[in-house]
Amino acid sequence: MALLQTTGVAPLTAQDLQRTGALSRWISRHAAILILGVLLVFLPTVASDFILVQVFGWGMILGIIALSLMFLGGYGGMVSLAQMTVAGVSGYMITVFGASSLPAISLFWPWWAAAPMAIVIAVAFGALTGALSARTEGIYTIMITLAIAAAFFYLTLQNWPIFNGFAGFTTIPAPIAFGINWKHPVPLYYLILFFAALSYAVVVYISRAPFGLALQGVRDNPRRMEAIGYNVTAHRIAAYAFAALIASIGGILMVWLNNQISPGSTGIEASIDLLIIAVVGGLGHPIGAFVGAFIYVVMRTFALDALVEVGLDGRRFQTLIGLTFLVIVLFSPDGVIGLWRRWSARALSQDRGTRR
Amino acid sequence: MATAFGNEGPADGTGSGDAFGRWIGRHPIWALIIAVVMIFALWLVLAPWPAGFEDVFGKKRLFINAILNGITLGGLYFLVATGFTLIFGLMRNVNLAHGSLYLFGGYMGYEATQWTDSWLFSYVVAFVCCAIVGVAMQFFIFRRMEGQDLRQTLVTLGLSIIFSDLMVWIWGGNAIQIDTPDYLLGPVATPIVVAVKSNGETVFLQYPLVRLAIFAAAVAIGIGMWLALNRTRVGVMVRAGVDDRDMLSVLGYRVQLLFVLVFAFGAGLAGMAGIVGGTFQSLSLGDDSHFLLASLQVVIVGGMGSIPGAALGAIIIGCAEQFGQTYFQNYATVLTFVIMVIVLAIRPQGLLGRR
């Protein structure tokens, strides 16, 4: 922000000085995220394909979808359990309009037609979800969105003409575009990284833009916002639509990464896992979604071996996830981000204390 | 003053019979139309169908079976959803572990039938076990985070994940069926004519006795609960708590005790419903989320915190599900979903709910 504000035309030298000052200040303030970005860009030089795609790629995709939940929950105060469903809608639509192993259902449109179509349908679905749940408030949102998520899950399970029942779709690789085969691990990783960074940046930007500020106002006091002339319901529905846009991108990437989609990938359990990711990471800041997603993916990938290692049944993974979630909710309601903030605040105050 | 538990008349003692009579007096034409429709529906159910009807709706046996299955399934949903709606109404706690309580009760009942061979006794076991779990949840966890809706809901979510994983651990993923007791075994003839044979013999519908018995029990429990809420002192306290629990506690009533009681009762009902479900269908992995979804839909359609609403919603959702499965299998859940959407669009608080 400071950078943008100083791009005037007036005094030159002072302005330049100020600009470099602002830049260095911006860099020092965002050092962590910049270092993380550089590390992620150069990750493919060191990491194996498995780590690259199944841990970081999968984690960032879950992070993107969880980010949409974080946007709704953190800025809008609407904790929606239907975000995984929105991702599932776009994932299913890209297979229905695009390519899959089922010529009876798939329309085999090229990716540049199928992907926008899938996103449009998913955004419409998200806006509809918003329109339904924005009429009620608070805790009802969770119930209605959970009911929507479950209804979609059972629909995909029972419906054969469009969703191919419990079998779902297989063999849906990422397309070949601009001469690059995106289904190879490294291009796929960069594709996911690009969209993860983009959606993160957009959410951070929107949270400070007038729309985001109005949304936070609606979260804190809808009545007052209504009184000063904001259309509360419209803001909520727009937030759902924007969140659906992010989630639908995540959904398409999810299908391209997994090569398949079935009811299980968008089921009730997946929706709940997504909420766990967002809450464990913390709803207070967009980075929380990615932090939660990485914790989840790392646990999912390595907990099985770790559980067996300590002599427990590896299949008790869900219990472990549930317990982690309970501990976070009971002792740090604002998630890992909250823990980190409190910890750094304490470190800072101690630091100041010793200096004085 | 209408309470959250029903739209009965004013509290000064005028019964619902008078209100009904007054309503007819005020809307004679509507009353006539409703009466005609009801008589027609009754004729439709009892008499054999003319040929044209079977072309549209398919076999009458199919149609009637869908209705009866829907209503009896509604009875089961009612048992599950009342606890859910009561707990929400009083404590503002969306108990997402309610489906797990249902499944837990079913499994405990199954164990009880294995040990004692008594189907009726297993209800006691399931009720007590689930009530204990419910009391423990309220006493150790929810009491400490009162007024924090979202946090409580997240806790129930975490609990439901742990519960379901532990239950898979103990009872495995295979479906378990609870045996129907001998005295309720087999079909019973109903006075519903399904078809007339070519030799003039009328065929009556056969229907499983156990389903009818359980539905009767659900109705009895519903009426008993309505009486308890509207005619007893504890019931008055519960209703007052739903309306304004802060005021109730200011007046010196022991709200915490009331919360524990209601949580125990709601959880116990869910547990008993687990046995019903295990006898009707089966108990298996994933039933917890299925019945949680059913409870959610029932209370969204019927109205939060309202017992008559839960009854109405349960019948509607049960019938919608059965009709969907009978007539358009590929889109069966869409039907219940559409009903939910319509209700939310017209009356966001549910059919019998109150803002």
Query: Could you give the domains of chain B?
Result: 60-346 (1.10.3470)
List Cα–Cα distances, B50 to B53, B59, B157, B335, in angstroms. Answer: 6, 11, 51, 27
- For residues B250-267, average pLDDT: 86
Examine residue A34 and state whether it is found in any structural domain, yes or no.
no
Residues in chain B closer than 8 A to A296 (CB atoms) = none
In B, minimum Cα distance to A268 occurs at B289
pTM of the model: 0.80
Distance from CA of A275 to the nearest CA of B (A): 9
Shortest Cα distance, chain B CAs vs residue A322, angstroms: 5
Query: Of the spans B28-42, B231-245, B256-270, which averages the highest pLDDT?
Result: B256-270
pLDDT recorded at residue B11: 42
Does B159 contact A139 at a Cβ distance shorter than 8 Å?
no
Q: Indicate if the pLDDT at residue B75 is higher than 80.
A: yes
Q: How far apart are CA B58 and CA A121, in angstroms?
A: 35
B140 inside 8 A of chain A by CB: no
Q: Which residues of chain A have pLDDT under 70?
A: 1-21, 28, 138, 173-174, 311-315, 352-356
Q: Tokens in use for B291?
A: 């019945």
Contacts of B348 in chain A (CB under 8 A): 135-136
A210: distance to nearest CA of chain B, Å? 27
Q: How confident is the model at residue B13 (pLDDT cuts 50, 70, 90)?
A: very low
Chain B residue numbers touching A144 (CB-CB < 8 A)? 300, 344
pLDDT value, residue A150: 83
How many Cα atoms sit within 13 Å of B9 on the Cβ side?
A: 12
Is B99 a residue whose pLDDT tops 60? yes
- A328 to chain B, minimum CA–CA distance in Å? 10
pLDDT of residue A14: 54
Q: Is residue B140 classed as helix, strand or coil in its secondary structure? A: helix
CB-CB neighbors (< 8 A) of A79 in chain B: 150
Higher pLDDT, residue B73 or A9: B73
What span, in angstroms and rounded, lies between the C-alpha atoms of B323 and B300?
A: 20
Residues of A in contact with B159 (CB under 8 A): 322, 326
CB contact under 8 A, B162 and A323: yes
Residue B196, helix vs strand vs coil:
strand
For A330-355, the pLDDT digits (tens) are: 887 777 888 888 888 888 777 766 65
pLDDT exceeds cutoff 70 at B329: yes
Going by the DSSP 8-state scheme, the letter that residue A163 receives in this structure is T
Structural domain contains residue A268? yes
Name residues whose C-beta falls within 8 Å of residue A53's C-beta, 6 or more positions apart in sequence.
A185, A188, A189, A257
- What distance in Å separates the CA atoms of residue A77 and residue A91, rounded to the nearest whole number? 26
- How many domains does chain A divide into? 1
Measure the CA–CA gap between A163 and B297, rounded to whole angstroms.
Answer: 23
Contact B155 A154 (CB under 8 A): no
Above 0.85 for ipTM, yes or no? no
- Nearest-CA distance B309 → chain A (Å): 16
pLDDT at res. A15 = 56
Q: Is residue A2 part of a domain?
A: no
Residue with tokens 């979630």: A325
Shortest alpha-carbon distance between residue B325 and chain A (Å): 10
Across the interface, whether the CB atoms of B340 and A151 are under 8 A apart is answered yes
Residue of chain B minimizing CA distance to A166: B330
Share of chain B above pLDDT 90, in %: 6
Rg, chain A, Cα only: 22
For tokens 């150790």, the residue is B140
Q: Which tops the pLDDT comparison, B195 or A218? A: A218
Hey, is the C-beta of B165 within 8 angstroms of any chain A C-beta?
yes
Give the span between the Cα atoms of B168 and B163, in whole angstroms.
Answer: 9
- Does the pLDDT value for residue B162 go beyond 50? yes
* Chain B residue numbers touching A264 (CB-CB < 8 A): none
Chain B residues with CB inside 8 Å of A148's CB? 337
**What is the reported pLDDT for A355?**
56
Q: Identify from A156, A271, A329 which residue to disrupt to test chain B contact, counting B C-beta atoms within 10 A and taking the largest count.
A: A329
Contacts of B131 (CB under 8 A, 6+ apart): B264, B265, B267, B268, B271
Report the distance separating Cα A241 and Cα A122, nearest Å.
9
Domain residue limits at A249 = 49-355
CA B271 to mean position of chain CA atoms: 13
Say if A25 falls within a structural domain: no
**CB nearest B336 (choices: A151, A319, A323):** A151
For chain B, count helices (H), then strands (E). Answer: 13, 2
Would residue A178 count as lying in a domain? yes
CA-to-CA distance for A322 and A273, rounded, in angstroms?
9
Mean pLDDT of chain B: 80
A171 vs B98, higher pLDDT = B98
> Does B57 have pLDDT greater than 60?
yes
Q: Is residue A11 part of a domain?
A: no
Q: Is residue A314, in this structure, part of any structural domain at all?
A: yes
Q: Are A257 and A192 in contact (CB under 8 A)?
A: yes
pLDDT for residue A64: 93
Res B56: pLDDT = 65
Q: Indicate whether A231 belongs to any domain.
A: yes
